[in-house]
């Protein structure tokens, strides 16, 4: 069965729930990059982020029946990703490998690339010092433009709790940035 | 919306940090400046993140081997069948069948009961007819009603006997007449235990007299060997008629210590034993002239005076 590029997400999910792996592959290809970005922002290296993307989709396949159509699919995906991160972080600490930065394609000038590499390293260094919940809130709010209500769904918290978390996370991040500046 | 949220939205829309903070009162802007600076710093790192994320390549071959075949969604899987969880249409069907059966039983019962009213001895419905009569009898509240019922049932037996004779079933007709006699004897026994209203007593007397006449006619239609039953029945009917005529009669005058006991003591015969003992009281001096009465069947009925006549209330 072939899946058109413009097939609605809801249809892909319905097909995947019935066991259609072609539809599930389409979901993987549409959301893989966004998920990869999430893991990178969280502090994973390239290989780790890649593994985490694959593992998230394997978990999604197992828990696809738990998804309700009224929910935002990407939010459900991030919820699985966050739980996976929590499980992984208990097992190993392969985050923020500053000396093993993700290898990137050279599409920009070497100078620009160097700046961005440096920025990403700064980001990783700053976020790595924050609590996991702070990281999640900041990533979803500032890199995915999620509203506090949407973040609350992913984190299974109340919207008020998310606002408090966001405020504290920004304060903690500000301190980290200041410390990094002093170190430089 | 709080101040920080306003600044974050302004940054999200692409405004610079200073532009976003300038929308707030100076003191408020200074209070949230650290958080706003952190947010602006995050936005500045985003292009680096996008750049790094753009290198992602799908590796379906690493995912696909781990996908186990999925079962159909729970809603589409057939549910385990349970006795009480039949589909709606099956329950409706069951209800319809049960209703039809109930209706059939009711209609059948009603039809049987109605049609049994016309059943004759030998018919399969005849026991039902007798059962209904017994029920009616036991539901009767007092001796007077029971006496009247017995005379009514006796009338039915006569009619049945007549119908059987027309069908040529003479033996059954004769047997039915013996039952007739028992009804009349029972009526007399019940009448002895109560005081019948004069009108009712006269009605019963009239019915018994009519039955005696009927029996006289029937007797000639029976073969000689079966006539005995008709004769015995006729005599009992006449005796009952005489009793009822005297039973409810209002007293004109009361002679001292005059009571009458009617004792019918028939000899044992195939038609049954008749032993009504009637203590009759009368308001006038009655001298039975039929003492002793010997019937054609050899049964003798004796009127025995037992002291003073009563007041018509029986024993």
Using the predicted structure, report yes or no on whether residue A19 has a pLDDT greater than 70: yes
Contact B236, B208 (CB under 8 A): no
Contact B119, B125 (CB under 8 A): yes
pLDDT in the model for residue B55:
86
Mean pLDDT lowest among A41-50, B8-17, B71-80, B160-169: B71-80
* Test mutation, A174, A177, A180, chain B, max B CBs within 10 A: A174
Using the predicted structure, report yes or no on whether residue A167 has a pLDDT greater than 90: yes
Q: Residues of A numbered 76-95 whose beta carbons fall under 8 angstroms of chain B's beta carbons: which are they?
A: none
- A19, A25, A170: residue with CB nearest B69: A19
Q: Residues of B numbered 54-73 whose beta carbons fall under 8 angstroms of chain A's beta carbons: which are they?
A: 54-56, 58-60, 62-64, 66-73
Which residues of B are less than 8 Å from A64 in CB distance? 70
- Per residue in B29-73, pLDDT (tens digit) is 999 999 999 999 988 888 888 888 888 899 899 998 988 887 655
- Interchain proximity A18–B72, CB inside 8 Å: yes
- Per residue in B272-315, pLDDT (tens digit) is 444 444 444 433 333 333 333 333 333 333 333 333 333 333 33
Token pair for B66: 């781990």
User: With an 8 Å Cβ cutoff, is A152 touching chain B?
Assistant: no
Q: What is the mean pLDDT of residues A87-109?
A: 54
Distance of CA A181 to the CA centre of its chain: 26
Token pair for B257: 């210590």
Contact B160, B121 (CB under 8 A): yes
Distance of CA B96 to the CA centre of its chain: 21
- Per residue in A34-88, pLDDT (tens digit) is 999 999 998 888 888 999 999 999 999 999 888 887 788 999 999 999 999 888 8
pLDDT in the model for residue A6:
83
pLDDT in the model for residue B143:
87
- Per residue in B182-213, pLDDT (tens digit) is 999 999 988 888 888 888 888 999 999 999 99
ipTM of the complex: 0.81
- Interchain proximity B38–A174, CB inside 8 Å: yes
Q: Residues of B numbered 201-260 whose beta carbons fall under 8 angstroms of chain A's beta carbons: which are they?
A: none
Token pair for A56: 């998230």
Terminal Cα-to-Cα distance of chain A (whole angstroms)? 56
- Per residue in B59-110, pLDDT (tens digit) is 899 998 988 887 655 555 555 555 555 556 667 778 888 999 999 999 988 8
Please tell me which residue of chain A has the smallest CA distance to B46.
Answer: A143
Environment class of residue B254 by beta-carbon count within 10 Å: exposed (0-12), middle (13-18) or buried (19+)?
middle
- In DSSP terms, which residues pair with B265 in a beta bridge? B300
User: With an 8 Å Cβ cutoff, is A170 touching chain B?
Assistant: yes
User: With an 8 Å Cβ cutoff, is A48 touching chain B?
Assistant: no
- Interchain proximity B74–A54, CB inside 8 Å: no
User: With an 8 Å Cβ cutoff, is B12 touching chain A?
Assistant: yes
- Per residue in A107-166, pLDDT (tens digit) is 556 777 777 778 888 888 888 889 989 999 999 999 998 999 999 999 999 999 999 999
Token pair for B16: 């610079």
Which residues of B are less than 8 Å from A3 in CB distance? none
- Interchain proximity B48–A116, CB inside 8 Å: yes
- Interchain proximity A120–B45, CB inside 8 Å: yes
Q: Residues of A numbered 125-144 whose beta carbons fall under 8 angstroms of chain B's beta carbons: which are they?
A: 138, 141-143
């Amino acid at each position: 069965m072939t899946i058109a590029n413009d097939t609605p997400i809801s249809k892909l999910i319905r097909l995947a729930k019935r066991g259609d792996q072609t539809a599930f592959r389409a979901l993987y290809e549409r959301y893989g990059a966004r998920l990869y970005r999430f893991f990178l922002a969280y502090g994973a290296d390239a290989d780790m982020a890649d593994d985490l993307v694959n593992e998230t989709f394997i978990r999604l396949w197992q828990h696809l029946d738990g998804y309700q159509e009224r929910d935002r699919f990407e939010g459900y995906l991030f919820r699985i990703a966050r739980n996976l991160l929590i499980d992984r972080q208990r097992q190993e600490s392969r985050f923020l490998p500053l000396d093993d930065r993700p290898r990137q394609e050279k599409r920009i000038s070497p100078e620009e690339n160097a700046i961005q590499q440096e920025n990403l390293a700064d980001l990783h260094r700053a976020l790595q010092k924050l609590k996991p919940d702070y990281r999640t809130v900041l990533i979803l709010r500032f890199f995915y433009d999620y509203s506090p209500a949407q973040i609350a769904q992913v984190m299974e918290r109340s919207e008020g709790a998310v606002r408090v978390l966001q405020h504290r996370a920004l304060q903690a991040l500000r301190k980290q940035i200041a410390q990094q500046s002093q170190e430089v | 919306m709080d101040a920080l949220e306003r600044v974050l939205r302004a940054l999200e829309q692409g405004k610079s940090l200073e532009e976003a903070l300038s929308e707030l009162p100076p003191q408020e802007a200074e209070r949230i400046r650290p958080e706003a600076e952190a947010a602006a710093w995050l936005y500045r790192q985003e292009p680096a993140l996008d750049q790094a994320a753009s290198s992602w390549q799908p590796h379906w071959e690493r995912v696909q081997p781990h996908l186990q075949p999925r079962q159909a969604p729970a809603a589409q899987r057939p549910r385990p069948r349970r006795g009480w969880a039949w589909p709606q249409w099956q329950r409706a069907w069951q209800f319809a069948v049960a209703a039809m059966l109930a209706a059939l039983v009711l209609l059948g019962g009603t039809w049987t009961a109605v049609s049994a009213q016309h059943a004759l001895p030998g018919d399969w419905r005849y026991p039902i007819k007798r059962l209904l009569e017994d029920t009616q009898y036991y539901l009767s509240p007092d001796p007077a009603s029971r006496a009247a019922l017995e005379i009514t049932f006796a009338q039915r037996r006569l009619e049945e006997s007549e119908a059987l004779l027309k069908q040529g079933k003479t033996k059954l007709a004769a047997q039915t007449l013996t039952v007739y006699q028992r009804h009349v004897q029972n009526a007399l026994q019940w009448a002895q235990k109560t005081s019948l209203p004069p009108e009712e007593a006269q009605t019963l007397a009239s019915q018994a007299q009519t039955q005696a006449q009927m029996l006289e006619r029937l007797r000639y239609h029976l073969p000689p060997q079966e006539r005995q039953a008709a004769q015995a029945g006729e005599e009992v009917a006449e005796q009952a008629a005489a009793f009822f005529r005297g039973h409810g009669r209002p007293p004109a005058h009361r002679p001292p210590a005059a009571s009458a006991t009617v004792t019918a003591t028939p000899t044992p015969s195939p038609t049954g034993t008749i032993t009504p003992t009637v203590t009759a009281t009368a308001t006038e001096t009655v001298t039975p002239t039929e003492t002793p009465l010997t019937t054609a069947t050899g049964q003798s009925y004796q009127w025995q005076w037992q002291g003073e006549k009563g007041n018509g209330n029986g024993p």
